Amino acid sequence: MAAKVFQLKCGCKNDPWGKTGKDSLAGVLCSKTPGALEWDDSKTYSEMWMGTYPTVPSRILATDELLSEYLQKHPEVVGQSVLEKWGPEVPFLPKILSFSKALPLQIHPDKALAEKLHQTDPNKYSDPNHKPEIAIALSNFELFAGFKPLSDISTLMRIAPLQRFLPPDHPQTFTDSHLRDLTRTLLSLPASLISTTVNELLSIPESNFGPTQRYIPGLLDRLRKQYPDTDPGSLVAVLLMNYMTLGPGEAVCVPADSVHAYLCGDILECMARSDNVLNTGFCAPAERDDVGLFTEALTFKPHAVDEGVLGRRKSVVGGIGEGRTEVYQPPFGEFGVLGVSLGAGERERHGRLEGLSLVVVVKGKGWMEVTGGEGEGEKWEIGEGAVFFVGAGVDLEFGTEKGLLVYRPYAE
């Protein structure tokens, strides 16, 4: 019978925006698995990928076999419902990201647009899938996500250096359609005008930005130290988008076509199995996608800080876990994520899931035991950086002497 629970060996990317050496949680976690990467203190480690996406595919630690090949041979381990919906794959893509400068300002296309883009340019858009995502903070996490409330934007756009970006016949009340036009205008400005505007905004008193948006000059100044002051990302991010700071365990939900730019932190990201992205800022001009395409696709969700935050619910006895598990359930169907945080001497049980899951140990150490289903009685010592594949229909128990933080993305 095919093994259902086994440890994986995952890979880590080295994008220039990643944190360097030991500062990178992604790099450090990835390096804990023997043979996963060649350590170099001076390298940036940006994203550790887990699962079957071909760009950075996971392997089975014991045999070095690709997880994707194993699932092709033993499709039943993913569970019947997953197999019917998505085939013998991990239908989601979890990553640990560590970054100290802004990631590109981006959206991920919805299914219809992704199919179209993939058909016309399969090299650039490597799959026909949508990519809604959630991001769970592992450290303090600063980000821009979704658009500010329309009233905040319209107040802001009436201050002197910004008025010129509104058409002369602009009505008093702003709509999403005006916001789409304004986003297009700001993203299409000549480089010199972006730089002039940034400098003008930095030279006026903070109080001009109103009581709730005084943070704008500080953020602009920070961003121009990361990217040239001619980058259109800065204006769109600080003027139009919600600026948020999340603490460990808090999460944000980014639907398809929703604008976002992550600024700083360490996060666990989980997304539908896709790598499609449209970038328009915080990247070199050559890497920017078409502004028309970008602004046409935009959705206006979320439209305030509160709408972007993904709520969590404590799982109770009889559901998944016995009260030490939190469930992150985004509104899109591909996946959910369980978060298990245990103090010294604590345990937690997870009843069986109908589909596959991955177990990602973010902090601490302890053990994981199969307490029901195939492989009952198997037990592993688990520590920071360990990633396991868990097939459908397996009961698990986690325990620790000193403390343990585990995330478990799953599909059913």
Residue 177 CB: number of other CB atoms within 10 A?
9
Q: Return the closest-CA partner of residue 94 out of 328, 382, 402.
A: 328
Question: Which residues have a Cβ under 8 Å from the Cβ of 166 and sit 6 or more positions away?
Answer: 157, 182
Residue 78 CB: number of other CB atoms within 10 A?
25
Cα separations (Å) of 244 from 108, 136, 233?
20, 13, 16
Residue 73 burial (C-beta neighbours within 10 Å; 0-12, 13-18, 19+): exposed
Cα-to-chain-centroid distance, residue 40: 25
3-state secondary structure of 346: coil
Distance CA 46, CA 24 (A): 7
Tell me: is residue 74 an annotated ligand-binding position.
no
For residues 396 and 349, the answer to whether their CB atoms sit within 8 Å is: yes
44-45 and 133-137 as β-strands: parallel, antiparallel, unpaired? unpaired
Distance CA 31, CA 48 (A): 10
Alpha helices in 9-140 (DSSP H): 25-31, 67-73, 80-86, 111-120
Please state the φ and ψ torsions of residue 157, each to the nearest 5 degrees.
-70, -5
Tell me: is residue 322 an annotated ligand-binding position.
no
Distance CA 96, CA 30 (A): 9
Buried b (16+ CB within 10 A) or exposed e, 9-40: bbbbbeeebbbeeeebbbbbbbbebeebbeee
Question: Which residues have a Cβ under 8 Å from the Cβ of 277 and sit 6 or more positions away?
Answer: 104, 106, 107, 108, 131
Tell me: is residue 106 an annotated ligand-binding position.
yes
Distance CA 383, CA 363 (A): 7
- The torsion of the CA quartet 376, 82, 258, 331, rounded to 10 degrees, works out to -70
Tell me: is residue 329 an annotated ligand-binding position.
no
Residues annotated within a binding site for Zn(2+): 106, 108, 133, 260
Residues annotated within a binding site: 106, 108, 133, 260
